Amino acid sequence: SQTIHQWPATLVQPVGSPLSLECTVEGTSNPNLYWYRQAAGRGLQLLFYSVGIGQISSEVPQNLSASRPQDRQFILSSKKLLLSDSGFYLCACTLRDFITDTQYFGPGTRLTVL
């Protein structure tokens, strides 16, 4: 079965600093990968998704970017963080089961921008 790792688990960064969050997936190959953001007490906002190495689709225009340098690695970055970037960042992957694609989430990274 698949395992999703996210690093770091928590992060406190000053406004204007850069950001790099990493997601790695074990136990599957060629997954679809996703980055979501969850504000405190709010729902899940899809930020980026990727269907393969180097292929990134953006759902929400903002100062964040994503990259997929390897099949099972997904990175979320920013050159200059804003206060509004605070939130809980979740990586997810899609596996193909016999009925439909099933989406699984990682443990998340709690980002606080001060």
Which parts of this chain interact with other proteins (CB under 8 A)?
4, 32, 34, 41-44, 46, 49-51, 57, 90, 94, 99-108, 110
Q: How far is the CB of 46 from other proteins (least distance, A)?
A: 7
Instruction: Give dist(CA 47, CA 3) in Å, integer.
Output: 21
DSSP annotation of 82: -
Q: Which is nearer to other proteins, 32 or 67 (CB)?
A: 32
Q: Which is nearer to other proteins, 57 or 70 (CB)?
A: 57
Q: How far is the CB of 65 from other proteins (least distance, A)?
A: 18
Q: Which is nearer to other proteins, 4 or 21 (CB)?
A: 4
CA-wise closest residue to 108 among 7, 40, 17, 25: 7
Residue 14: CB atoms within 10 Å: 8
Strand partners, 70: 73
